[in-house]
Structure 1
Amino acid sequence: MTDLNVIALYLQYPEVNYFKDYFGKSDLGASFVSLDSVGEIKSYIKAGYNNVVIVDFDFKYTRIFDFIEISLLKDVVFVVLANPEGFSNYSFKKIHILHRPFSGKKISILLGCIIEYFKEERFNSDRSELRDKNVLCIPSLDRIDLVKIDDILYCAADGKYTTFHLLSGQKLISSKNIGLYEKKLGSDFLRVHHSYLVNGKHITSLTKKKGFFCELSNSVVIPVSKRKQGCFNKYFDINSLK
């Protein structure tokens, strides 16, 4: 971990020295700075880094609205040093209470939680960027394929696996189940059946002879379960045609 940026705020010198020594000896590769004013923080927050602000929180000297503004910034997590009688145990993704007296073990456990939070945020951000680029990652046992979402005709469930059928005729098998992709893919993908997830953009016709079916642009016909017909009515605004 080489992108941890630690900012100490309002800490007394014994604690400043403790944390400076702790991060200096750790293998986190962290940068460390001590500040006496909340107004200076923004100048030291590094874009793209995992910023951890360790603060001795005292309402007498702190402008709370400055902290609220900073807490909304991306890549910033607060660690509040407190006496046990002053704060109850509290832990949130962006705010953590570290009770005195603290130890290296306590700090190590807390940092582990914070680093996992940053990893999760990075993953979600990267996934969101891929979604914005209209790209889906499809993992298999030995590779990850990047596929344009518009090129997906439909997905078929195969036990705990999912088979993607593409416009090109190619089939890709994912090691993830179809329920995951129902959540990942946008509103254009319709769960027409417990075994199928269909791209609505590629549906060319609906038939109601001997059941309910949808035909795709590659002439494949997919069954639609009775309890899923409502999603079709809503997506294609069929009720307005009656």
Structure 2
Amino acid sequence: MKNFTAIIVDDEPHAIRTLQAQLGWTELPIEVLATATSVNVAREVLQKHQPDFLFLDVKMPTKGGFELFQEVDLSGIEVIFTTAHDEYALKAFKHQAAGYLMKPVSTDELRNLLEKLIQKRWPEARSSYLTFHAKDGIQRIDPQEILYVSSLGANAAIHLTSGDIVKVNKLLKSLEDELGTAFFRIHHQYLLNLAKVSSIQKGRNAEVELLNGEKLPVSRSKKMEFYAVFEQE
């Protein structure tokens, strides 16, 4: 995966340190090039660096985050506002913000937003492996070894061809975005590897049979789209 860069602008040093730590916890290859505690310092930093991401606080002494747009050309930078104030969200998106994160920032929300932005702007940067935190450290899985993924509420379970089941702290929607078009969401609870389908039982209660003999339901709202996608494979 491509290496990305970021700059953090926040008048609270502890907020900067926390966000730096959280960026590390996302496991994404993002390097913080510099930090700034005011718009004036941020302007000087941005004259030296052109980061991929700019994390920008809204309310700061003297000048707020929105004023930075008037002083620096931020085109080409994915600007993500971080703030404890929800009333500025509309104004942020009018400034073409890429995201608006409420403090205290959730690491999962941060990771999900960054993954979506990376896949949208840099689709070639998609990793060939699914990487996530495990109890013993960082683990990665080859998508070709995945039969399907099931939802566990705020988490998900990855069902492998080996028969193993790996639980991860990610939403099914997030995994759907990461795994791409080789997988299809056949049901609100199931994300399926199209290459692992043995047959499809059509009808009112449609279902798919996987190569291991396991069967999964296909929701009514997904049936026609799924049939069309599967026949193109």
Using the size of structure 2 for normalisation, the TM-score is 0.50
Q: Which structure is higher in RCO with an 8 Å CA cutoff and minimum separation 6?
A: 2
- Structure showing greater radius of gyration is 1
Using the size of structure 1 for normalisation, the TM-score is 0.48
